Structure 1
Amino acid sequence: MSRTRLILSLLIPALAVAGPLPKPDRGGVPESRLYDYGVMGPPATPAIVAAAGAAVATPLPAGPFEADWESIRKHYRTPAWFEDAKFGIFMHWGVYAVPAHRNEWYEKYMYGAGLAWHTANFGAPDQFGYKDFIPMFRQEKFDAAQWAGLFRRSGARFVMPSAQHHDNFALWDSKVTPFNALRMGPKRDLIGELAAAVRKEGMKFGVSNHGVENFTFINPPQALDDRLKAAQADLYDPKWAAFYNVADRSPAAMTRFLSDWLARNLELIDQYQPDLLWFDNGVNLRVLDPLKLRVAAHYYNRARAWNKEVSIGSKFVAYAPSNDDTQQVGAIIDFEKIGARSPPDIRPGPWMVDDAIGSTWGYTSGMKVAGGGAIVGRLVDTVSKGGFYLLNLSPRADGVIPEEQQRTLQEVGAWLDNNGEAIYGTRPWKQFGEDSWRFTSKGDAVYAVGLPRDGSVVLRVLGPGAGRVQRVEQLGRDGVLPFRQAQEGLTVEGISIAAGGLPAALKVTF
């Protein structure tokens, strides 16, 4: 008997082979209305996690990092490039763009609340399941060089596609899973092609892996489950069982799933040398710490050999063993969307916010797309509070980034061409803003970014108490602006107003 099977047979209580799974143990993490602790992650036990780790024989690469929190804390440093880059591109890029309906969780909904719509448009799941969208995900118009050039012109310094979403389909050339883009669908290594093109344009490249949530993602109603099981179709087709992870949810299956998750991450690290490896909420579970630590130690030791500064990105307390999200260890915390979940004020330490350009994360027909003015406003607000803005795009199934998304990127890039000095390499000032204006700082300058009224503004916080102002300039223009510093604040006049609702950026030098 193998070591893995022995651990399972001795220590793991029986779980149902299929059907609803128990919610995972919160591991002492307090309830939060803002964060998913990991309810979509697999409800593993310590024994299952131990067996999953033991099943992956890959040795830890040589280096100072061990797979424990103290070692990671001692040796990890936030990459300098991340501190200065401030703006990056994220992508929800996957099979769900084929139906282009509802959102990127189409797979989950088609076996539940969206069953009637799916059946009316594609057929019942026993005739046309989610797997049948894979051959339609052709990416025949995907041009990595064109995408990379667009991203560079947008002003982004970092690009991170979703290498795998909750649907368990890998967009890279994988030896770990057969369900990958080189063997199916596009028949191309999408991640490899994009990584090479992005780096050729001088940008950093990362990958996101949302795959740990696949094990609990699909939960069909009983009648559909019974029908598919009786027919051995789709979710219960033995050839696709390891893709869907519905037919078998036993302890042994969960162990195999977590071993596969670990192996896929090690493969992504070794094949593509990502500058950032990002995880979604499913890895927040404390019980998964041994696997997360193994990924971190492997990644950071590899990066030492590559002579690269890299980091993991994750949410809430995934890499905060104290269960305090302000005490991250070996990772950069990510917040989902500008608003209730993102920091309302300056937050110490490195952080980022991922934010959608449109009304859905993945491409959907008729999705609404924000314009350049709105995106620049979110970028400036994030940077003023010490964060990094990660703008999500939604490519189509044919490999095209829709024109309205490209137009927004071009508008953002044009603004950054003139005003990037107020963004790149800056740090928060003593307060992030005043009214609708936002502040950043660099050296002896404070940058004020906002929409002036009638070409002028009074910034109360920049009165004499802030220090003596020497000059005021508007980025993107030659010369200095007339100003007056008095008790009521700093009055600046002669500000040019940009078209399209884009803000002005003032450089105030002390």
Structure 2
Amino acid sequence: MKFKFLYLILIASALTARLHAQQHSEQDHSKYMAPTDPLVQQKLSKWQDVKFGLLMHWGTYSQWGIVESWSLCPEDEGWCERRGPHSHDWYEYKKAYEDIAKEFNPTRFNPERWATAAKNAGMKYVVFTTKHHDGFAMFDSKYTDYKITNTPFKSNPKSNVTKEILSAFRNQGFMTGTYFSKPDWHTDSYWWKYFPPKDRNVSYDPKKRPELWQKFKDFTYNQIEELMTGYGQVDILWLDGGWVRPFSTIDPNISWQKTIPYDQDIDMARIAKMGRSHQPGLLVVDRTVTGEFENYVTPEQQIPDHYMPIPWESCITMGDSWSYIPKENFKSTRKLVHTLVDIVAKGGNLLLNVAPGPDGEWHEEAYQRLDEIGKWMSVNGIGIYETKPQAPYRQGKWAYTKKANTTYAFYLADEGETIPAKLKPEGLNIPANAKISIAGNQKSLKLKDGSIEIPAKTAVQVGQQPVYLFVIN
């Protein structure tokens, strides 16, 4: 049975995706714990230098064009809303949702094209959703039948899509990461069928059912070990579902954490030790669970309003939705470049999400955006990669980074704005004898009364750009 009726509600469902999450910005980052393992420190430093990565949410939910997993969640929240003929009955809906696997067949899947487009855009790491909260494995797990290699796509030689994606990106020089959901709404050891689920949390009290919780812990451990052993080098284990956490880590000042009813300690020490035994230096990102297993923090769909001295990454959608919708509202190239510069100037990385569709392809417009970003990055990436933030970081329309004795001053232009004849970098003191030029242009610019003078000929040569980069030595 085809569920084309659900396409009518795609936009309404998917727009709520950017609202759901877990209010990651509410974390108290003053409690960040820096890793002590030298190999982890080394990899974290490398990760902080690459600045720009690709996130992909892809699963059977793409077939219906709906928000990833959340319509299964029995919570009275907008992002959990069910629509269509099965919406009146949660049990019917869950069965219909899980039956999508019987028709999921992404025959246009071509990860090499993705990797090439991402590389040309200037991206240097990738994080792929190997399993979201719905429990559908986008890899060939032997611990479940609910997986990509048990769909009509199973006869395709590239059916183990996680392996193919990581390999394609690794071949292009990318650091690779595996998104993995700690909760699993398909397995009976998390949403135990004896008790119907009331919300996103485990459906029973783990203290009362320790043997069942241990079964779930082992299941989770085993699936993660599969990813850490059968998929080549993995640099990042990116764990989502922050309500699966020790009760002692719950912050009562954070609204969504106050709703967690049980201790859901998944034994991160055991998982991290195993992961690093197979993947030395592995970055572990136990999102929102502040402590030794959150090697960097991940504000979602937002940018901090100030410089943060800890390792961090904003994960942001290229459009409105984390998951595929047929008609996406993509952000402009100018907006995306501004976002990258703003984040890097404050000390972070940008992890930009693009969602493949049910046929295994991206929207063509996503390729166009990456191509346009790449053209800007090919000239201006010198002020992005391997840089450090420089005070005052962000001031008005200016953003600053540095590398050794070079200062990079970014001017974030308004829509349609050409470079003015004179610009004064806000909050930055430039020595009178400094050498100044615009990235990609050899002309030395003069400084007068603290302002940079741009000759009309130079303005024509650099053309109109979303952000202009001044190189100051």
| Deviation of the 1:122 alpha carbon | 12
Letter of the structure 2 residue corresponding to residue 504 of structure 1: Y
Q: Which residue of 2 aligns with 1:81?
A: 46
Match 1:181 to one of 148, 151, 160: 148
Rounded Cα–Cα distance in structure 1 between residues aligned with 2:111 and 2:63:
19
Shift of 1:278: 0.4
> Which structure 2 residues correspond to residues 355-504 of structure 1 after superposition, within 5 A?
355-450=316-411, 451=413, 453-463=419-429, 466-477=430-441, 479-486=442-449, 489-494=450-455, 496=459, 502-504=466-468
SS for the counterpart of 1:353 is strand
Contact 2:183/2:244 (<8 A) preserved:
yes
Q: TM-score, normalised by structure 2?
A: 0.76
Candidates 166, 169, 180, aligned match of 2:133: 166
Tell me the residue number matched to 2:14: none
- The structure 1 residue matched to 2:275, chosen from 281, 299, 303, is 299
Alpha-carbon distance between aligned partners in 2 of 1:500 and 1:362, rounded to the nearest angstrom: 33
Q: Distance in 2 between matches of 1:414 and 1:70?
A: 37
Q: Which moved more, 1:277-286 or 1:420-429?
A: 277-286
Q: How big is each residue's C-alpha offset from its partner over 1:151-184, in whole Å with a ceiling of 9 and x where there is no partner?
A: 1111100011111111101111112222221223
CA drift at 1:204: 1.4
Matching residue of 2:114: 147
- Partner letter of residue 427 of structure 1? K
Matches within 5 A, 1:88-127: 88-102=53-67, 105-108=70-73, 114-119=81-86, 125=92
Q: How many residues align?
A: 410
1:145 Cα deviation after fit: 1.3
Does structure 2 conserve the Cα–Cα contact (< 8 Å) formed by 1:362 and 1:395?
A: yes
Kindly report the root-mean-square deviation, in angstroms, between the aligned alpha carbons of the 2 structures.
3.7
Q: Secondary structure at the match of 1:150?
A: helix
Structure 2 equivalent of residue 61 of structure 1: none
Pick one of 192, 195, 203 that aligns with 2:163.
Answer: 192
The answer (yes or no) to whether the contact 1:100–1:363 under 8 Å persists in 2 is yes
Letter of the 2:62 counterpart: A
* 1:258 maps to 2:224: no
Contact 1:135/1:186 (8 A) holds in 2: no
SS at match of 1:332: coil
Q: TM-score if structure 1 supplies the norm length?
A: 0.71
Kept in 1: contact 2:419–2:464 (CA 8 A) = no
SS of the residue aligned with 1:295?
helix
**Contact kept in structure 1, 2:67 and 2:323, CA below 8 Å:** no
* AA aligned opposite 2:274: H
Name 2:469's counterpart in structure 1: 505
TM-aligned CA distance change 1:268 to 1:420, over 3 Å: same
**Residue in structure 2 matched with residue 241 of structure 1 by the alignment:** none
* CA deviation map 1:286-334 (0-9, x unaligned): 4556611111112223233xxxx43112333x241xxxxxxx5661221
What residue identity is the alignment partner of 1:186? F
> Could you tell me which amino acid in structure 2 is paired with residue 424 of structure 1?
Y
- What residue number does 2:13 align with? none
Q: Measure the CA separation in 2 of the matches of 1:126 and 1:493.
A: 62
Is the CA contact (8 Å cut-off) linking 1:142 and 1:399 kept in structure 2? yes
Is residue 86–residue 383 contact of structure 1 (8 Å, CA) maintained in 2?
yes
> 1:499, 1:467 → 2: CA distance?
27
Q: Of 229, 236, 240, which residue of structure 2 is paired with 1:270? A: 229
Question: Is the Cα contact below 8 Å between 1:355 and 1:389 reproduced in 2?
Answer: yes
Aligned counterparts of 1:419 and 1:94: Cα–Cα separation in 2: 35
Residue 456 of structure 1 deviates from its aligned partner by 3.3
Q: What is the CA–CA distance in structure 2 between the aligned matches of 1:139 and 1:247, rounded to whole Å?
A: 36
Partner deviation per Cα, 1:230-263 (whole Å, 9 max, x = no partner): xxxxx99xxxxxxx98799972443322221121
Identity of aligned residues (%): 22
Q: Which residue of 2 aligns with 1:5?
A: none
How big is the shift at 1:186?
2.6
The worse-fitting range, judged by mean Cα deviation, of 156-165 and 107-116 is: 107-116
Deviation at 1:380, TM superposition (A): 0.5
Query: In the alignment, residue 299 of structure 1 is paired with which amino acid?
Result: G
CA distance in 2, matches of 1:175, 1:382: 40
Instruction: Give unmatched runs, 5+ long, in structure 2.
Output: 1-21, 250-262
C-alpha distance in 2, partners of 1:33/1:207? Answer: 19
